[in-house]
Amino acid sequence: MRIYPAIDIKDGKAVRLVQGKFDEVTVFNDNPAEAAKAWAEAGANYIHIVDLDGARYGKSFIIDILKEISSKYNIPVQTGGGVRTIEDIRERIESGAARVIIGTAAVENPQLVREAIKLYGDKIAVGVDAKNGMVAIKGWEEVSDVSAVDLCLEMKKLGVKTIIYTDISKDGMMCGPNIEATKELIEKTGMEIIASGGVSKIDDLENVFKINAQGVIIGKALYNGAINLSDAIDKFEKGEKNAY
């Protein structure tokens, strides 16, 4: 199971929101590249970067940051937030992203996903952010009438292999991820599901591991020291899980 340390970017700074609320912001680092450096030095094999302003306003604000991180550190990055066009995807890949996450546009414009898969294959993932089982869009400020399971199955038909699943009610709350909903997605879709939202302790990672998730994204728990990234990687990426 891969561990993805998260860097959420707003106004050019590494921040965390509570349940996606833009008026509940905590700044953890004024320089996102420094946050990336810390995770790289801790042994991260992949970094998850979200453009929060992009998600809200539908255009990218982090291209220069992506370029800086990719040029300084030899570590793959997956990034989402504000991805609305093929040009957005191309720009992020050319800026160093190994994987681009389509969120809102997957609901509003599935043709974009179809085209992106044809052009970039496994470099494309879809972000499914849900509230009470229904997909939220536009920086989580609107809830659609599409269920998380149905969206994943539609994306699978288009050739998508990887889903980043976030339960908004859990995000930033340090109360544990939604294991039941994540497990349902894994079992009903057979896709590679990366769990996100609410991870607060090593036991949460254990629970995600048990449902055979491809990976898990950790944000606030790393920044406040509740989880040590090196320890998590040793336990869940490097084979020590054989002890469990």
Indicate if 167 belongs to the active site. Answer: no
| Beta carbons within 10 angstroms of residue 192's beta carbon | 18
Please give the distance of CA 148 from its chain centroid, rounded to a whole number: 15
Q: Three-class SS of residue 58?
A: coil
The two beta strands, 142-147 and 134-137, are antiparallel
d(CA 134, CA 114): 22
Quick one: which of 220, 222, 219, 196 has its CA closest to 208?
196
Catalytic residue among 53, 129, 167, 204: 129
C-alpha span between 218 and 47 (Å, rounded)? 10
- The sign one gets for the Cα dihedral 139, 145, 148, 151 is negative
User: Has 30 been annotated as catalytic?
Assistant: no
**Distance, C-alpha 206 to centroid of its chain:** 19
User: Which residue in 8, 53, 88, 204 is the catalytic one?
Assistant: 8
Residue numbers annotated as active site: 8, 129
